[in-house]
C-alpha cells in the first residue's frame, strides 16, 4: 500500500509540472492580453509599454517562465492583469460561494444518483425503472441553460416564491451569522442548488444503472442468491460495491472541477462564483489569473485522483496488491 | 521700363502692406485677452423638479467592476461604479460643456497656460475641503504616472501651479486645444490627503493597489460608497452635504445581473428600477406593454466601419475605394439588421449627434448613396472587368480577384454585415466583386489588422470628446496607432495637426469640416453606422429621469434628479412582507427535500422485503 501511494505521488508531481509548463506556453500563444487597449483612444503607446513593463510582459519568454516557476514555489500566483489584484485574492473572494453551492450539491447528487441508480438497475424494466430512467433521459437532453431559465420562470416569475438573481438581497451586506442573513442566503440558495443537484443526479443515474446491470449477470450473484444471503446484502455488498467502481471516478472528478464551477448556474442566477472568473480570464487573456486557476484546478484534479485511487484500493483489494 | 519698375515697386509695397496688416492682426489677437472657455453651469440641468427625498434606486448592471482604483480603472463597469463618488471640473451633458467644480477656465494669450478657478466651499465625504491643491495633485499624477489610464490626455502638461486655494495654473509643453474636452471632462478629482500618503509609500506600485472600501474611496460626489459585496452589488448612500444640494434618493444600489433575460424580468417585476445593459430590440415591444416600464434609446458614438487596408493593392487606389463605398447600402443595414437601432454612418466619419454635432459636416451625410451602376462604371474604368464571363470581375491584369472581409465572431451584427456587403458586391452589374466574409475570433485577427496584413475588416472604433481625435485615426504617424487603415494624406496630416494647435472655436470648426470633406473624398474607410441601445427603466416609482440622446437613462444628472413619485407608497412595509415570504419559502422547500429523502429511505426498506 505504501509503495502504491508513493508511486502515485511521484507520478502526480511530474503530471503537475508538465501541466503548468504546458499551460504557461499555450496561453502565451493565444494572443496579446493588452490587444483590447490598443484601439482605446485614451491609451497611448507609451502607456501600453508601461503597463507591459509593470506586468513583466516586456521580458523575454524564458525569463517570464523562470519568474513564473520561482513565484509558484514561493506560493505566489501573481497579479491579475484585469483585476489588478493578487490572483489568490480574486479567486478567494468568490470561492466561498462556489464551495458552499457545489460541495453539498455534488455530494447530494452523487448520493441520489447512487441510490436511485442502484434501485433502477436492481429492478430493471420495472415501472419504477421506466419512470426514473425516462425522466433522467428527458432532463439530461434539455440544455442546462434552458432548464435553469425554466425553473427561474416558474418559481421566480410565475409563482414568485424565489428571487430572480444574486446570492443575497441587495443591501443585506456581506457574510454574517444573523438569522436574517442566513434566511436570505438560503432563500437565494435554494433554486440554483435544486437545479444543479437535480440535473447532476439525473445525469449520473444511467451510469450507475448500467454498471449495476452488468454486474447482475455475473455468476457470483447467482451464487449469492443460491446461498440464501438476504436480498439487501446481495444488493449493496455484492452488486453495488462491484458496480460502483467505474462510477466512483466520475463522481470523484466532479469535485476536482469545482473551481471551474457551475458557470452556467452562475450566469443564469447571477450567482457569484469562480466559474465566471475563470471564464473571463480566458476571454480577457488574463495570463496570470488563468495560470493561477489552472494551477489550482490541476492540483485539485491530482489530489482528487489520489483520493479516488485510495478509495478504489479500499473497495477493490486487487488494486492494492498489483 | 519705367512702368515695369513702377509696377514692381507697387507690388513690393503691396506685399509689405499686406504683411503689416497680417502682423498687426496677429498682434491684436496676441495682445488681446486670452480665450475664455464658455459653458453652462451644471445647475442648469437640475432645475424644475420637486425635491422629494427618500427611496432606494436599484440599477442592474450586466458586468461587474474589477478595479476600484480610479487611476487604473478602465472597464466601462469600473468607470460607471466609480462615477457617483467623484466630482469633475467640467462634464459633457447633452452634448454641451457644463461647468461643475470649475468656476472659470481661461487660456493665456499664448495658449501655454490654463487658469482654472474652482467653486468654493466644496467638501470631501470626510469633511475636508476640496481645494486647488487636490485638482493640481490629480493633474500632476495623471501627467507624471504613465501607467494611469488617462495619461494619454495629459501628455502635454508641463507642470501645475497652485495660485491660491481656489485657483490653479496648468502649464503646457505644447499647445493642446483638446485638453478641456478630452482630459478635464473625464477627470475625477481625487483627494490629495488620501492618495498622497499612498503614493509616497508605494510609488508606482499604486498601479496594482486595490483601495480599501470605503476608507480609500473618498470623493466629493453626490454619493458615498457604503458597501461592496463582490459578485453581488455596490451600495451608496446620498451625500447629504453635496455642494449642489443632496440627491433626492437616499440610497443607490448597482446590482450585478449577468444574464440579460433575467435583468429584463427583474425590471418587469420591479425588482430593479433600471437596467444599464444591452438588450435585443426584439424584446422592446413586450417591455413597453408592461405597465410602468419605459425604454430609453440612446446612441453611442463608436463608429462602426468597413476598414480598408490602404497599403494593399487594390485598396490603395482611391477610385477603387470609392467604388466600394457605392456598393454599401448603409440605410438598409440600419433599417434591417439593426432594426432601426442605429444611426446611418457619416462618410466624413464624425458622428452627427451629441458632443460631435458641433463639428459634424452634415453636407456629407448624403454622399455615396447605394448605387451599384456607379460602382460598375468606376470598376470598368479601372480595368476590373469580367473577362472570362464567369460572373466575377477579374483584376486589371486579368487574374482572378477576391478579398476577405473579417468580422468578429462575437458580434452577430457585424458577421451579418460582412455577408450583406459580399452579397451587394456580387450584384454589381457586368460582373460582381468576389468578397469572402469571414467570422473569426477577434483576438486572433487583431494582430493581423494591426500589422496591415489583411485586406478589409469590420471594426468599431472609439472617438474622443474633442474633435482632435481625428488626428489619432487619420494622421499618417509612423507608429500608426489608431490609424489602422494606414491612411496617408499630407493635407490631412497638416490639418489634423492644426486641430490640436488651433484654439479659436470657429477656425477649428472650419478645419474639421475640411478634414471631413477630404476623408469623404478619399474614403480611407467606409463608415457604416453608429449603434443605438434600448435600455429599460421603470417610471411608476421614480420620476426625474434625465434622458439624453447619447447617454443611458442612468447617468450623473439622473442620479441627482431622480426622486420618488409623489403618490408612490413609501416602501416601509415591503421588507417585512419579503422576510415572511422568504422564510416560508425556505421552510417549505427544505421540508420538501427532507420529505423526499425520508420517503426514499423508508420506501427502500419496504420495497423488496
Decide: helix, strand or coil at residue B87: coil
Q: pLDDT-based confidence at B329, cuts 50/70/90?
A: very high
Mean pLDDT of A43-55: 78
Does the structure show a pLDDT above 80 at B601? Answer: no
Does the structure show a pLDDT above 60 at B100? Answer: yes
Task: Let me know: does B252 contact B246? Beta carbons within 8 Å.
Answer: no
Cβ burial of B215 (10 Å; 0-12, 13-18, 19+) is exposed
Q: Is the dihedral of CA B471, B476, B477, B480 positive or negative?
A: positive
Q: pLDDT (tens digit, 9 = 90+) per residue, B194-242?
A: 999 999 999 888 888 889 888 899 999 999 999 998 888 999 999 999 9
Task: Let me know: does B472 contact B481? Beta carbons within 8 Å.
Answer: yes
Q: pLDDT-based confidence at B575, cuts 50/70/90?
A: very low
Q: How many helices (H) and strands (E) does chain B have?
A: 17, 21
Distance of residue A258 Cα from the nearest chain B Cα, in angstroms: 18
| Closest by Cβ to A84, choosing from B146, B208, B469 | B208
Mean pLDDT of A134-139: 88
Three-point CA angle B290, B250, B292, nearest 5°:
10
> Between these two residues, A176 and B514, which has the higher pLDDT value?
B514
Distance of residue B491 Cα from the nearest chain A Cα, in angstroms: 22
pLDDT of residue B608: 45
Set of chain B residues whose Cβ sits within 8 Å of the Cβ of A31: 443-444, 446-447
**Is A194's CB within 8 Å of B589's CB?**
yes
| C-beta neighbour count of B462 within 10 angstroms | 16
pLDDT of residue B609: 38
> Between these two residues, B431 and A311, which has the higher pLDDT value?
B431
How many whole angstroms separate alpha carbon B313 and alpha carbon B321?
A: 11
Set of chain B residues whose Cβ sits within 8 Å of the Cβ of A119: 604, 607
pLDDT of residue B116: 95
Dihedrals φ, ψ of B255, to 5°? -100, 140
Q: pLDDT-based confidence at B29, cuts 50/70/90?
A: very low
Rounded to the nearest integer, the mean pLDDT of chain B is 88
Q: pLDDT-based confidence at B158, cuts 50/70/90?
A: very high
Place of cell 440641468: B45
| Closest by Cβ to A267, choosing from B209, B259, B607 | B259
Does the structure show a pLDDT above 70 at B22? Answer: no
Task: Let me know: does B413 contact B364? Beta carbons within 8 Å.
Answer: no
Q: Is the dihedral of CA B66, B71, B76, B81 positive or negative?
A: positive
**Is B266's CB within 8 Å of A165's CB?**
yes
Distance of residue B107 Cα from the nearest chain A Cα, in angstroms: 23
Q: Please report which helix (H) or strand (E) contains residue A15, including its range.
A: helix A2-28
Place of cell 506560493: A75
Is the ipTM value over 0.85, yes or no?
Answer: no
Task: Let me know: does A24 contact A78? Beta carbons within 8 Å.
Answer: no
Mean pLDDT of B118-146: 94
Three-point CA angle A22, A27, A33, nearest 5°:
160
Set of chain A residues whose Cβ sits within 8 Å of the Cβ of B231: 93-94, 97, 167, 271-273, 276
Q: pLDDT-based confidence at A320, cuts 50/70/90?
A: low
Decide: helix, strand or coil at residue B377: helix
Dihedrals φ, ψ of B96, to 5°? -120, 160
Q: Which of B147, B150, B173, B175 is nearest to B160 (CA)?
A: B173
Amino acid at each position: 500500500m505504501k509503495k502504491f501511494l508513493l508511486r502515485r505521488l511521484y507520478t502526480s508531481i511530474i503530471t503537475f509540472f508538465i501541466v503548468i509548463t504546458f499551460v504557461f506556453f499555450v496561453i502565451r500563444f493565444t494572443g496579446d492580453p493588452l490587444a483590447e487597449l490598443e484601439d482605446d483612444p485614451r491609451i497611448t503607446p507609451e502607456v501600453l509599454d508601461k503597463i507591459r513593463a509593470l506586468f513583466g510582459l516586456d521580458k523575454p519568454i524564458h525569463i517570464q517562465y523562470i519568474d513564473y516557476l520561482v513565484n509558484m514555489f514561493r506560493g505566489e500566483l501573481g497579479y491579475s492583469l484585469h483585476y489588478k489584484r493578487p490572483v489568490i485574492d480574486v479567486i478567494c473572494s468568490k470561492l466561498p460561494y462556489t464551495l458552499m453551492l457545489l460541495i453539498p450539491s455534488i455530494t447530494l447528487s452523487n448520493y441520489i444518483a447512487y441510490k436511485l441508480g442502484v434501485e433502477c438497475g436492481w429492478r430493471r424494466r420495472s415501472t419504477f425503472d421506466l419512470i426514473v430512467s425516462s425522466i433522467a433521459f428527458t432532463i439530461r437532453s434539455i440544455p442546462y441553460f434552458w432548464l435553469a431559465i425554466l425553473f427561474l420562470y416558474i418559481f421566480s416569475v410565475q409563482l414568485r416564491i424565489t428571487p430572480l438573481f444574486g446570492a443575497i438581497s441587495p443591501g443585506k451586506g456581506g457574510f454574517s451569522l444573523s438569522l436574517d442573513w442566513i434566511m436570505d442566503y438560503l432563500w437565494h440558495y435554494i433554486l440554483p442548488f435544486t437545479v444543479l443537484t437535480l440535473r447532476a443526479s439525473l445525469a449520473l443515474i444511467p451510469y450507475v444503472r448500467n454498471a449495476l446491470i452488468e454486474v447482475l449477470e455475473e455468476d457470483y450473484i447467482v451464487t449469492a442468491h443460491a446461498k440464501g444471503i438476504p436480498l439487501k446484502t446481495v444488493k449493496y455488498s455484492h452488486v453495488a460495491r462491484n458496480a460502483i467502481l467505474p462510477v466512483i471516478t466520475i463522481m470523484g472528478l466532479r469535485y476536482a472541477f469545482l473551481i471551474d464551477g457551475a458557470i452556467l448556474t452562475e450566469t443564469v442566477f447571477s450567482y457569484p462564483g469562480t466559474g465566471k472568473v475563470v471564464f473571463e480570464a480566458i476571454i480577457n487573456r488574463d495570463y496570470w489569473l488563468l495560470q493561477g486557476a489552472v494551477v489550482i484546478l490541476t492540483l485539485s484534479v491530482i489530489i482528487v485522483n489520489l483520493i479516488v485511487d485510495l478509495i478504489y484500493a479500499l473497495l477493490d483489494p486487487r488494486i492494492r496488491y498489483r | 521700363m519705367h512702368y515695369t519698375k513702377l509696377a514692381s515697386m507697387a507690388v513690393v509695397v503691396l506685399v509689405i502692406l499686406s504683411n503689416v496688416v497680417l502682423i498687426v492682426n496677429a498682434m491684436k489677437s496676441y495682445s488681446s485677452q486670452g480665450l475664455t472657455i464658455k459653458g453652462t453651469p451644471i445647475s442648469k440641468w437640475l432645475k424644475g423638479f420637486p425635491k422629494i427625498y427618500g427611496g432606494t434606486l436599484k440599477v442592474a448592471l450586466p458586468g461587474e467592476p474589477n478595479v476600484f482604483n480610479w487611476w487604473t480603472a478602465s472597464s466601462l463597469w469600473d468607470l460607471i461604479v466609480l462615477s457617483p463618488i467623484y466630482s469633475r471640473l467640467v462634464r459633457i451633458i447633452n452634448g454641451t460643456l457644463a461647468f461643475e467644480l470649475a468656476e472659470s477656465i481661461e487660456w493665456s494669450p499664448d495658449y501655454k497656460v490654463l487658469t482654472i478657478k474652482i467653486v468654493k466651499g466644496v467638501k470631501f465625504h470626510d469633511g475636508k475641503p476640496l481645494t486647488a491643491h487636490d485638482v493640481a495633485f490629480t493633474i500632476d499624477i495623471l501627467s507624471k504616472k504613465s501607467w494611469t489610464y488617462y495619461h494619454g490626455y495629459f501628455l502635454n502638461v508641463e507642470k501645475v501651479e497652485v495660485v491660491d486655494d481656489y485657483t490653479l495654473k496648468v502649464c503646457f509643453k505644447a499647445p493642446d486645444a483638446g485638453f478641456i474636452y478630452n482630459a478635464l471632462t473625464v477627470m475625477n478629482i481625487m483627494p490629495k490627503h488620501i492618495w498622497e500618503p499612498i503614493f509616497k509609500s508605494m510609488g508606482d506600485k499604486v498601479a496594482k493597489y486595490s483601495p480599501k472600501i470605503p476608507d480609500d474611496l473618498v470623493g466629493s460626489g453626490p454619493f458615498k460608497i457604503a458597501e461592496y459585496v463582490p459578485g453581488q452589488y455596490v451600495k451608496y448612500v446620498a451625500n447629504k452635504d453635496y455642494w449642489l444640494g443632496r440627491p433626492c434618493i437616499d440610497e443607490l444600489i448597482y446590482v450585478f445581473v449577468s444574464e440579460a433575460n433575467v435583468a429584463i424580468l427583474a425590471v418587469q417585476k420591479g425588482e430593479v428600477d433600471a437596467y444599464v445593459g444591452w438588450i435585443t430590440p426584439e424584446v422592446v415591444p413586450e417591455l413597453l406593454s408592461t405597465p410602468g416600464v419605459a425604454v430609453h434609446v440612446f446612441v453611442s458614438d463608436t463608429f462602426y466601419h468597413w476598414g480598408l487596408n490602404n497599403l494593399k493593392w487594390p485598396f490603395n487606389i482611391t477610385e477603387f475605394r470609392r467604388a466600394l463605398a457605392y456598393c454599401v447600402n448603409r440605410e438598409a443595414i440600419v433599417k434591417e439588421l439593426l432594426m432601426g437601432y442605429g444611426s446611418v454612418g457619416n462618410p466624413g466619419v464624425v458622428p452627427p449627434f451629441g458632443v460631435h454635432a458641433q463639428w459634424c459636416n452634415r453636407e456629407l451625410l448624403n454622399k455615396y448613396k447605394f448605387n451599384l451602376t456607379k460602382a460598375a462604371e468606376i470598376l470598368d474604368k479601372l480595368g476590373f472587368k469580367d473577362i472570362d464571363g464567369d460572373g466575377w470581375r477579374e483584376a486589371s491584369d486579368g487574374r482572378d480577384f477576391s478579398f476577405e472581409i473579417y468580422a468578429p465572431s462575437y458580434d452577430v451584427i457585424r458577421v451579418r454585415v460582412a455577408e450583406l456587403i459580399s452579397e451587394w458586391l456580387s450584384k454589381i452589374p457586368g460582373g460582381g466583386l468576389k468578397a469572402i466574409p469571414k467570422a473569426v475570433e477577434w483576438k486572433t485577427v487583431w494582430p493581423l489588422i494591426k500589422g496591415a496584413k489583411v485586406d478589409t475588416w469590420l471594426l468599431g472604433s472609439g472617438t474622443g470628446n474633442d474633435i482632435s481625435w481625428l488626428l489619432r485615426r487619420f494622421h499618417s504617424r509612423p507608429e500608426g496607432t489608431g490609424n489602422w487603415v494606414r491612411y496617408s494624406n499630407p493635407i490631412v496630416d497638416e490639418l489634423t495637426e492644426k486641430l490640436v494647435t488651433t484654439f479659436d472655436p470657429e477656425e477649428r470648426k472650419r478645419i474639421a469640416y475640411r478634414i471631413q470633406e477630404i476623408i469623404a473624398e478619399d474614403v480611407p474607410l467606409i463608415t457604416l453606422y453608429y449603434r443605438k441601445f434600448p435600455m429599460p427603466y421603470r417610471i411608476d416609482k421614480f420620476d426625474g429621469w434625465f434622458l439624453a440622446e447619447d447617454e443611458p437613462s442612468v447617468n450623473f444628472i439622473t442620479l441627482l434628479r431622480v426622486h420618488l413619485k409623489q403618490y408612490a407608497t413609501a416602501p416601509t412595509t415591503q421588507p417585512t412582507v419579503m422576510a415572511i415570504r422568504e422564510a416560508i419559502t425556505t421552510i417549505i422547500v427544505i421540508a420538501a427535500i427532507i420529505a423526499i429523502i425520508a420517503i426514499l429511505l423508508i420506501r427502500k426498506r419496504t420495497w423488496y422485503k
